[in-house]
Amino acid sequence: MADPHPLFDDTSAAGGGGGAQPGRGYGGPPPVSSPYPPPASFLREPVSSLAVVYGSSLASQGRDIVDRNLDRFIPLGRLKYYFAVDTVYVGRKLGLLIFPFVHQVRGVRYQQDTPVAPRFDVNAPDLDIPVMAFVTYILVASLALGTQNKFSPDSLGLQASSALAWLIMEVLAVLLSLYLVTVNTDLTTINLITFAGYKYVGREVSPLLQNSRVWGQPPLGFCPPPSDTRV
């Protein structure tokens, strides 16, 4: 080809120009060594231009398929509604989670096709608190292990993976039960994940308030904890 394809202009000079094959990114200019022909010369063959076009069409097709299927299972467009929180909401929701007895109005106030952003309604489920609570739980559990001298950096990953596995099991169990009793419900999978994630808030608050095994000693000076405890 006499005219260089615009994707392949100056890959050696500009460094990081568009990749020839899908899925491969260039981190920097490819090394040019003098006895070998310049890296872009094989791309001027007519066959390789066909290969390039085919490859890029494959890439866009693959991306479409992935987007469509991913959208079927995890609606990514709606995820942003679950993270639209503000501090007033978080404060109120944490208060609700710890002390739910005074709450009068339960249930989200208006039904729509799109999930209600939690900014507008305290009852709306959100994903921000569960994610934060999950990470905090892993840190608190590692702290508890550390006060008993059982901590190692691998245990962080083990705790995280363990907690995630239990979460997935719980959501799958609820989904299976919902399917078996043929309940017609508006609950989506993401709602189930949020409700399962709320328990991590209580999971952290209770050890901190208890006869605390987290700290290895009583927080308020009450009876001492037994020596072989774990959180």
Which stretches of the chain bind other proteins, using CB under 8 A? 158, 161-162, 164-166, 168-169, 179-182
CB of 103 within 8 A of CB of 96? yes
Select 53 or 187, whichever has its Cβ closest to other proteins.
187
197: which residues sit within 8 A by CB, 6+ positions away? 127, 129, 130, 131, 133, 134, 167
d(CA 80, CA 24): 29
Cα distance between residue 180 and residue 209, in whole Å: 39
Q: Which is nearer to other proteins, 74 or 169 (CB)?
A: 169
Give the nearer residue to other proteins in terms of CB position, either 13 or 183.
183
CB of residue 108 vs other proteins: minimum separation in angstroms? 27
Of residues 88 and 168, the one with the C-beta less far from other proteins: 168
Phi, psi of 18 (to 5 degrees): -60, 145
Q: In which region does residue 149 sit, left (phi positive, over 0), alpha (psi from -120 to 50) or beta (all else)?
A: left
Length of the chain in terms of residues written: 231
**Cβ 127 to other proteins shortest distance, Å:** 20
Residue 187 dihedral angles phi and psi, to the nearest 5°? -70, 125
State the minimum distance, in angstroms, from the CB of residue 66 to other proteins.
17
Residue type, 162: S
The minimum distance between CB 183 and other proteins, in angstroms, equals 10
To the nearest whole angstrom, how small is the minimum distance from the Cβ of residue 157 to other proteins?
9
CB 180, min distance to other proteins, A: 5
Alpha carbons 197 and 129: distance in angstroms, whole number: 8
Task: Output the six-digit token pair for 53.
Answer: 């076009």
